[in-house]
């Protein structure tokens, strides 16, 4: 029997306009649900939404919102639900990274990374969970896009001189946040799971020095980087009813990087 991963209603994808998020948005649309893309400052988000909508013949709309702003997130989530379609799922994907030595980092750097990668994920998850609790909707599913860097000590370079300490630790925090939310919201039948990608070719990694890229590829057992589209299937599975008994789990989608 084919494993059909049909989705219903509207799925919010934060950072759904480019990189991994773009492929997540495409896969949600391909699975039959409407997509509400949240973006921060992209100029082409409406065009991206229209393109995905046309490709899969499903309504897709872009909504500007900074995920670090709690009130804006609540407003946008409620607007999506009332004016676009009932929200049934969330992929909290928006994230930012820094590649600087720990000795140079400041409080401002900490805020920049943690505000998006941890607080921003919390904000979006809280806003959709509140919506579902109010409506007594008991099939809500949240998927957080964390990172393999939250699982292990991931040095970026052969000499271990650069570890993206705020980024990596923020991803460990958000993976654990997912488990805590899964536990607390199980009483509302809301599932919360995490996908931890390995090294993916996107804007986040495109400017990394060749030394880092080759080190990462060499240390990935499958011997290559991940295409953004290869992260989507695990997220779609966790969103879907086929994962109805899975909550608080993490799928590590890293080509084997964290094995050793």
Minimum CB distance to ligand NDP smaller for 96 or for 246: 96
Residue 214: phi and psi, rounded to 5, are: -70, -35
Identify the active-site residue in 39, 167, 215, 257: 167
Cβ at position 1, least distance to ligand NDP in Å: 32
Q: Taking CB under 6 A as the rule, does residue 127 contact ligand NDP? A: no
99 lines the binding site for ligand NDP (CB under 6 A): no
- β partners of residue 10: 34, 87
Query: Cβ closer to ligand NDP: 53 or 72?
Result: 72
**Does residue 167 have an active-site annotation?**
yes
The values of phi and psi at residue 66, to 5°, are: -90, 120
User: Which part of the chain contacts ligand NDP (CB under 6 A), choosing from 87-95, 132-140, 153-161, 175-183?
Assistant: 87-95
Owner of token pair 């695990």: 234
User: Using CA atoms, how far apart are residues 102 and 114, in angstroms rounded to an integer?
Assistant: 15
Catalytic (active site) residue 119: no
Under the binding rule (CB under 6 A), the answer on residue 204 touching ligand NDP is yes
Closest CA to 143 of 13, 256, 8, 4: 13
d(CA 188, CA 209): 46
For ligand NDP, the closer CB: 205 or 219: 205
Binding of ligand NDP by 46 (CB under 6 A): no
């Amino acid at each position: 029997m084919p494993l059909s991963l049909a989705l219903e209603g509207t799925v919010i994808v934060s950072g759904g306009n480019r990189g991994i998020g773009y492929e997540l948005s495409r896969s949600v649309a391909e699975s039959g649900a409407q997509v509400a893309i949240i973006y921060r400052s992209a100029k082409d988000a409406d065009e991206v939404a229209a393109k995905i909508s046309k490709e899969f013949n499903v309504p897709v709309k872009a909504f500007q919102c900074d995920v670090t702003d709690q009130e804006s997130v609540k407003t946008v989530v409620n607007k999506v639900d009332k004016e676009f379609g009932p929200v049934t799922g969330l992929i909290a994907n928006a994230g930012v990274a820094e590649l600087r030595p720990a000795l140079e980092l400041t409080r401002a750097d900490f805020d920049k990374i943690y505000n998006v990668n941890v607080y921003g994920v919390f904000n979006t998850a809280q806003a959709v969970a509140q919506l579902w609790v109010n409506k007594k909707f008991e099939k809500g599913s949240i998927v957080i896009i964390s990172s393999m860097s939250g699982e292990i000590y991931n040095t970026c370079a052969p000499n271990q001189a650069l570890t993206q300490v705020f980024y990596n630790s923020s991803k460990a925090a958000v993976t654990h946040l997912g488990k805590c939310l899964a536990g607390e919201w199980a009483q509302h039948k809301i599932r919360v799971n995490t996908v931890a990608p390995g090294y993916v070719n996107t804007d986040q990694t495109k400017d990394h020095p060749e030394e880092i890229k080759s080190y990462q590829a060499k240390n990935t057992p499958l011997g290559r980087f991940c295409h953004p589209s290869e992260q989507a299937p695990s997220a779609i599975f966790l969103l879907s009813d086929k994962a109805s008994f899975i909550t608080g789990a993490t799928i590590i989608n890293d080509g084997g990087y964290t094995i050793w």
